[in-house]
Amino acid sequence: MEKQDHEWGCKHINYTEDGTIKACVVTIEDLQCIAEKLTLSVLDTSWMLNMDIGTKRSYQYTARETADALVNIFRNVTDRNSLNAEFGEVMVSIGSTRALELIFEHRALPIAEIWKPQKKQNEGFDFHTECKGDLINFGEAKYSGSINPHGEAIPQASRFIKEEKHLRDRVHLINLTGSKSIENLDSDKFGVVVAFSINSKDTSSIMRNAIESVRGSDLMNNSRMVYVVGVKC
């Protein structure tokens, strides 16, 4: 199944659905368009609308400060030659949540950097979604301008689960997701998303390798579903 996403300047392809692994590919066709959408995404504060005043105030400053910093990064991207790691990782994160929304009917949550500023590297998962099965999906994004970094994203996601970094997000996710999803998380029912940039013309080979790596990882033992998302630019 292929979905043309003119609104975001992307094309989304459902690559495979095989047991507890689902995979899709995002092709960025209009970099300026997605840069604009990333800007709107990080500036969107609608996720705070239903919070009580105290909870909302606890997030407002962090969200505003982080969004302003990200917008400055997005404004400097005009073409593929001006891509950098900071923009690339956010592009992979938000681009993946967009694909999961359109193909697998997930609900995208604001990227973690907006509500959980990462003061040091590898603080935790980069993005999250909530699916129709009332499961929270924890996403790890890796970007490279030269390689296909699924070999970095998969073991890091596995390590984060072992270190219970998904459980450390609960204190925030309780404000962002439904009560049933939190109940499932408390019962160790959740999903994982492994997202990475693709820098090869042989997309099928890269996706097959990534899926096989997931099959051989601890993610298959710890999560209800693993989503593999490749992002081409």
pLDDT in tens, the chain (233 residues): 789 999 999 999 999 988 899 999 999 999 989 999 999 999 999 999 999 999 999 999 999 999 999 999 898 886 666 678 889 999 999 999 999 999 999 999 999 999 986 554 557 999 999 999 999 999 999 999 899 999 999 999 999 999 999 999 999 999 999 999 999 999 999 999 999 999 999 999 999 999 999 999 999 999 999 999 999 98
Angle at 104 between CA 99 and CA 107, to 5 degrees: 75
Which tokens in the block code for residue 30? Answer: 């209009």
Q: Cα 188 to chain center, whole Å?
A: 20
Residue 122 is predicted with a pLDDT of: 55
Count of CB atoms situated within 10 Å of the CB of 44: 13
Helix (H, G, I), strand (E, B) or coil at 17: strand
Q: How far is CA 56 from CA 36, 77, 114, in A?
A: 26, 31, 13
Q: Is 54 exposed, middle or buried (0-12, 13-18, 19+ CB in 10 A)?
A: exposed
User: What pLDDT, on the 0 to 100 scale, is given for residue 79?
Assistant: 66
What pLDDT does 120 receive?
45
Maximum Cα interatomic distance, the chain, rounded to a whole number of Å: 50
21 within 8 A of 215, measured Cβ to Cβ: yes
Under 8 Å CB-to-CB from 114, ≥6 apart: which residues?
Answer: 42, 62, 63, 66, 67
Contact 127, 96 (CB under 8 A): yes
**Residues near 136 by beta carbon (within 8 Å), at least 6 away in sequence:** 128, 129, 130, 166, 173, 177, 181, 182, 184, 185, 190, 191
Give me the count of residues in the chain. 233
Query: Angle at the Cα of 42 (from 231 to 110), degrees rounded to 5?
Result: 75
| Distance separating alpha carbons of residues 225 and 192, to the nearest angstrom | 6
